[in-house]
Chains A and B, each alone.
Chain A
Amino acid sequence: MFVCNKIYDVVVIGGGHAGCEAALAAAKLGAQTLLLTQNLDTIAQMSCNPSIGGIAKGQIVREIDALGGAMGRVTDHAALHYHMLNTGKGPAVHSPRVQCDKKVYQFTFKHFLELQPNLDIMQDEAVCISTSDHGVDGVLTLRDTFYKTKSVILTTGTFLGGTIHIGTVMTPGGRYNDMPSNLLSKNLSKELGLHLMRFKTGTPMRINARGLDYSKFRLQPSDNPLQPISHFTDEHEQQKRKFLSCYITHTTLETDKILRENFQRSAMYGGNIHSMGPRYCPSVEDKIKKFPEVTSHPLFLEPEGAHTEEYYIQGFSTSMPEDVQRALIASVPGMENASITRMGYAVEYDCANPMDLYPHLESKIVPGLFCAGQINGTTGYEEAGGQGIMAGINAALKVQAKEPFVLRRDEAYIGVLIDDLVTKGVNEPYRMFTSRAEYRILLRNDNADLRLMPHAFNLGMLEDIYKPAFEKYRTLCETLKANPKAPVTDEPDLFPWSVEKAQRHADIHRKYEGYYERNKKDAEKLAEIDAIKIPEGFDPSTVRGILFESSVKLREVKPQTLGQASRIPGVTPSDIQLLAVHIERFRRLKNAKKTA
């Protein structure tokens, strides 16, 4: 065994969307960080669809960006096509989505990582996390190298015990042709005592554009004008770039018939897969089974890159055997003569119960161990990235003996996401929707910077050079909110913000003013009880008078604040009242002891 003589603050295991953000964030906050990945050439790989953003997901990307993360900037760099979703609806639900060149995306991200001070990147596979009485103390790799570290962030994606399914053919893999991480999975469940669950997700086939009949598709051109997804991208420069189009077609009755005749041959329905798949983002066989009355489902052709003819077929995710997949493609208008380049498949993987995590994403079971991304039962690059940046920040803060950084539900979709995960747990892959946010009117695409950048500056996640421009922008927004006709002039030192952005924001704010205030008021009430911490040594589940069901739930979740306790399904308002009194009583008794 080779023992690396450097002692790391943070070791990130996994170089996907969560791991990359986590590594960048930890290093940015000054933590000596190591990113371990099995394969440097698949770092930040977009394993499924070639787009970043989407409804509620686009807002998360904006939030990551405002917190100083890289996802938004990398996306704009790799952008092939912009589409603002929901523009037919109110601006509170406008959500940016960007088609990306997959290769450009991953290499750009790799470059970002390489340039980041305090961050080492190493191609190797973690197989064992070593612990002492105080928690995590090192990571052992497949090459038998030992890295000493004060904390570990697990961002294993679909690689823990990953199994690929195409029809009845099963192969080990975290992604097609990429080896799974089986030793680490055993280590986590057998030695560290994490509660692992098994989830499933899938991806559609890719086809060659040669042979497509575009006359049968509906064209979806890139937005013009466009809005970059990163706050730091120059809107007008970005506008000058060339963009590609996407295309829309539909499944047919023939597609339907093929699927029905072959249900038993799919991995999902043939009996090979027993784990929970997502209700949303379902496979096409799922859709036919659950919604037999819908005879035509939309399919979206999305380019995989600028230097390839491959298209991703959004909506055609499947685990059918190869012959069926070929027949399915031939049944779609415009694709009759298309050839498949890669088969669709389902992947099963281990994830860990997120209810075993504190809201700052550290494990309650193993101190110093943080988890982010699919290992927490989520799906989606954006959800992964959002957790990644939070885990990275919190691992660094922990090593520096600082207070954890937790976002509230009224501050960010990321706050909603993590609070849901750690408070309610998951029984299927979790994806974000705007309907999950009670404060939807507050959590908008246009105000992510105003919501989160103050935090980012405080933490040191954003460089101070942006501060004067941000403050100027904030003042400008306030002025315009109060008086839309206030005389304003564009100033060069406002960049990357602009008067135009401020006007856009102020217009939207005014549209929602009454609702904004109402949401804010509700949120303040929440903040009030969220500020009541459940003191160390106080076990809420033992409080007399609490309903039995509630005390079971309280024991399971171990809420950190009274607010978190109140969001546990089944806990009643009376339970919370009772807890409030007992917490106060506990505090006073303790103080009384101290003075005595």
Chain B
Amino acid sequence: MQSTICALASGQGGAVALVRLSGPRALDLLKSLTHKDGAFAPRQQVFCTIYDGGNILDKALVTYFQAPHSFTGEDVVEFAVHGSSYITGRLLELLCQAGATPAQRGEFSQRAFLNGKMDLVEAQGLCDLIAAGNKSAHQLAMHSLDGKLSARLNEMKTKLAELLAQIEVRLDDVDEEMQPLSPDFIRQEISAVLTHIQTLTDTFSVGRLIKDGLKVAIVGAPNSGKSSLLNALVGFDRAIVTDICGTTRDTVEETLEVNGQKIILTDTAGIRAHALDVAEQEGMRRSLRAMEQADVILFVLDAARPLSAEEKQLWNDIEKAHKRTLVILNKCDKPGAVSTVDLPHIADYKQLSVSCKKNIGLDEIKTILTAPMNNAPTDGLMLSNLRHYEALLRAQTELESTLIRLKNHAGGEIQAEHLRGALKYLKDLLGEITPDDILGIIFSKFCMGK
């Protein structure tokens, strides 16, 4: 049976992102993520809530295409979700946890071609695409992975391969002279690898922030100084400023780099209770969406002005977003500026006094924003690629199964099944490990009779 594959089909960074899922289990996975048992009519957009366990991940437009009437000729589901890298990343993660596998480069098109959905001319383009992927994947294997990460992965692979060899050599021991391996030894070896895997997978969320950039939404009431904050933050390092202008009625996105870390700032339209016209309403709608997509929210207040009803309402929305939030008490240089405000649960949030004019507190904002990215382990080992992350999670499951089976006194042939599984996933990351490699280890380390 064909596997069910998933990947981000649109580029990263737009307001809407398209995640595509193709294969025989596509509809099952859609139902399980939307908690909907009912039928999805083919080729009809449905507005659904996507769940992450008990929580809501996003509200999205979902379209189900029934085989063979789809891009790939298989059952396909397309999720039009909000374009935050968190949402798309998490959605792919959830799909993979439910049984999908991340698609290879060009795999959707390959399936489309093989299922007769593409003609020969298009196929050439497809071949070019895979070929390019082949080269870059190869380069990745040869160069990019050639650093500390590949060293660590290799270390884990070697440890597992050696453990497997110790188990295999006993299965193939004709002399029947070898002592069985002690379960404690096996447990200890596997646990050591599991610790490494855990450390690596823990870096994944940070790794992705570093790769895709930290999304920061600047929100607040009109005239609280959001745009000047954006200008002040970006202007501090002019070299990387690309575009400053934009209408306050729309969101403005700017990228800046702090200590080599990418931050994507979004300035939003001011939010007020009674928008003047349609354009402003639309601007405010976008502001709310920017907030949903952000990794961090900067809530900007005029420290010299009492809290307005709009600001209190906005605070409500911010709290609901469940995002890391900084409360910026702007214009702290003005007389009468306060250093704390009174809002519900404010004690749970960091408040910062800032003056864009006098350059107070700006560095601190940057430091606080990039802090989680600096939480990256000091050895520089970091996972940012979903495929790598998935492969490690699967290896982890196999290893945990070995430990469980070991507890139930399973024999070497069963332990070997799981270890072979775990090695297969590491192999995904590092190139082939064949039974010959295992035999090589066996013969270099053990004296075998006939």
Listed in ascending order, the chain A residues whose CB lies under 8 Å from chain B are 49, 54-56, 85-86, 88-90, 92-93, 279-282, 287, 290-291, 294, 297-298, 300, 314-315, 317, 424, 433-438, 440-441, 515, 518, 521, 524, 543-547, 569-570, 572-575, 577-578, 580-582, 584-585, 588-589
Contact = CB atoms under 8 A, between A and B. Distances in A.
Interface stretch (B20-28, B99-107, B201-209, B229-237): B99-107
Contacts of A515: 414, 417
Interface in B97-139: 104-107, 110, 113-114, 120, 123, 126-128, 130-135, 137-138
A569 B439 contact: no
Interface of B: 1, 104-107, 110, 113-114, 120, 123, 126-128, 130-135, 137-138, 168-177, 180, 411-414, 416-417, 420, 432, 434-436, 438-439, 442-443, 447-450
19 contacts: A88-B176, A90-B412, A93-B412, A279-B443, A280-B448, A281-B448, A282-B448, A434-B168, A435-B438, A435-B439, A436-B435, A436-B439, A569-B432, A572-B137, A574-B105, A577-B106, A578-B131, A584-B113, A584-B123
Contacts of B412: 89-90, 93
A437 B417 CA distance: 11
Given A577-B110, A581-B126, A55 B413 contact: no
A294 B449 contact: no
B120 A589 contact: yes
Contact of A315 (B138, B175, B411): B175
Contacts of A436: 435, 439
A287 B447 contact: yes
A297 B448 CA distance: 10
Contacts of B448: 280-282
B449 A297 contact: yes
Contacts of A424: 436
A54 B174 contact: yes
Contact of B413 (A54, A92, A281, A521): A92
A544 B138 contact: no
B172 A433 contact: yes
A589 B168 CA distance: 48
A545 B133 CA distance: 9
A505 to B, nearest CB: 17
Mostly helix, strand, loop or mixed at chain B's interface? helix
A438 B420 contact: yes
Given A435-B171, A440-B413, A524-B1, A580 B114 contact: yes
B131 A55 contact: no
Given A440-B413, A441-B417, A582-B127, A85 B174 contact: yes
B450 A281 contact: yes
Contacts of B169: 435
A344 B436 CA distance: 30
A584 B113 CA distance: 9
Contacts of A440: 413, 416-417
Nearest to B129: A545
Contact of B449 (A86, A314, A437): A314
Given A280-B450, A574-B133, 17 more contacts: A56-B172, A90-B414, A93-B412, A280-B443, A315-B175, A435-B171, A435-B416, A524-B1, A572-B134, A574-B138, A577-B110, A578-B131, A581-B114, A581-B126, A582-B127, A584-B123, A585-B113
Given A56-B172, A314-B449, A574-B105, A545 B435 contact: no
A299 B134 CA distance: 52
B413 A441 contact: yes
B104 A577 contact: yes
The 8 lowest CB-CB distance pairs between A and B, nearest first, are A545-B131, A574-B134, A90-B411, A435-B168, A291-B447, A279-B443, A90-B413, A281-B450
B110 A580 contact: yes
B134 A578 contact: yes
A544 B127 contact: yes
B447 A545 contact: no
A527 B440 CA distance: 27
Nearest to B134: A574
A298 B130 contact: no
A56 B448 CA distance: 15
Contacts of B171: 55, 86, 89, 93, 434-435
Given A315-B175, A315-B450, A546 B120 contact: no
Contacts of B435: 435-438
Contacts of B411: 89-90
B128 A545 contact: yes
B86 to A, nearest CB: 29
A308 B205 CA distance: 74
Contacts of A290: 447
Given A90-B412, A438-B420, A545-B131, A585 B170 contact: no
B80 to A, nearest CB: 27
Contacts of A524: 1
A574 B104 CA distance: 8
A545 B127 contact: yes
A434 B420 contact: no
Contacts of B450: 49, 54, 280-281, 314-315, 317
A142 B376 CA distance: 77
Nearest to B167: A435
Given A581-B126, A584-B114, A547 B436 contact: no
A496 to B, nearest CB: 28
Contacts of B105: 574
Contacts of A577: 104, 106-107, 110, 130
Contact of A574 (B130, B413, B416, B443): B130
A572 B138 contact: yes
A89 B134 contact: no
A162 B218 CA distance: 84
A55 B168 CA distance: 12
Contacts of B134: 545-547, 572, 574-575, 578
B427 to A, nearest CB: 11
Nearest to B432: A569
Contacts of B417: 440-441, 515, 518
Contacts of B1: 521, 524
B137 A574 contact: yes
Residue with the greatest number of chain B CB neighbours at <10 A, chosen from A317, A435, A437: A435
Nearest to B141: A572
Contacts of A545: 127-128, 130-132, 134-135
Nearest to B447: A291
Contacts of B449: 281, 297-298, 314-315
A246 B443 CA distance: 27
A518 B107 CA distance: 24
Contacts of A434: 168, 171-172, 413
A305 to B, nearest CB: 20
Contacts of B443: 279-280
A93 B113 CA distance: 43
B435 to A, nearest CB: 5
A467 to B, nearest CB: 32
A55 B174 contact: yes
A543 B169 CA distance: 40
Contacts of A281: 448-450
A424 B174 CA distance: 25
Given A435-B171, A441-B417, A578-B130, A297 B447 contact: yes
B439 to A, nearest CB: 6
B175 A581 contact: no
A544 B131 contact: yes
A279 B438 CA distance: 13
Nearest to B138: A547
B436 A581 contact: no
Residue with the greatest number of chain A CB neighbours at <10 A, chosen from B1, B134, B138: B134
A279 B127 CA distance: 43
Contacts of B123: 581, 584-585
A569 B172 contact: no
Contacts of A570: 432
A580 B107 CA distance: 11
A569 B177 CA distance: 33
A89 B170 contact: yes
